[in-house]
Amino acid sequence: MVEHSYEIHSTFEDALEAEDRRFHSERFRRRRWGPFWNFMYFRSGLYAEQVEKYLEHFPRERLFVTTLPQLIAQPFEVVNEICTFLQLAPLDLKVFPRDGTSKGVKSTKLAVLDQRLLKPLEYRRMPGAEASRASINRWNRTPRPAMLPQTHADLMRRFKPDLLRLRELVGVDRLNGKTSEPS
């Protein structure tokens, strides 16, 4: 969210702290830059309620469940499990691309300038805009910032009831990144 200039808070902790205020703010809902739920860093990770709503309308057998750790550890196997579930022919993947990694930014203001001014100028083929964007973005990129250990611990504590309910519903143990039969 910071990389694409949607988030004005430069740290995840600050953005997480702003979530409750944002959630209850009609002004934020009207004036935000980007989809509302993208700013709900904790709330959007509460899957049990979403799965319960799905299961009210569809049988459990119509739901395929896996975890990101499983996909990362065994991408070819998981993709072909999905194909089998969907009754599709297996895919003969030679490589499994991973290009969705986030980057950090040195300046959130510069990222906003890029997205709201330079990108539209580049889109309109303004002379020099493409080179300017490339140069600014090269300078502004940093490695993706790591979550603070205390933030991770706090989130795991907050997510625990939802994760336990999710495990009951679909057999996914997101605490351990595994799937098993629902209890």
What is the per-residue pLDDT for 183?
Answer: 44
What is the per-residue pLDDT for 110?
Answer: 81
Q: Mind giving me the DSSP string for the chain?
A: -TTTT----SSHHHHHHHHHHHHT-HHHHHH-SS-GGGG-TTGGG-HHHHHHHHHTTS-GGG-----HHHHHHSHHHHHHHHHHHTT-PPP--S---------EES-HHHHHHIIIIIHHHHHTT-TTHHHHHHHHHHHHEEPPPPPPHHHHHHHHHHHHHHHHHHHHHH-EETTTTEE----
The average confidence (pLDDT) of the chain is 84
Type of residue at 46: L
CA distance 140 to 113: 11
Nearest C-alpha neighbor of 119 from the set 132, 107, 108, 109 = 132
Residue 80 or 8, more confident:
80
In tens, the pLDDT along 23-49 reads 999 999 888 877 888 899 999 999 998
Confidence of residue 158 (pLDDT cuts 50, 70, 90): very high
Confidence of residue 180 (pLDDT cuts 50, 70, 90): low
What is the per-residue pLDDT for 19?
Answer: 93
Segments making up each domain of the chain, as ranges? 1-45, 103-143
Least confident of 23-37, 101-115, 146-160: 101-115
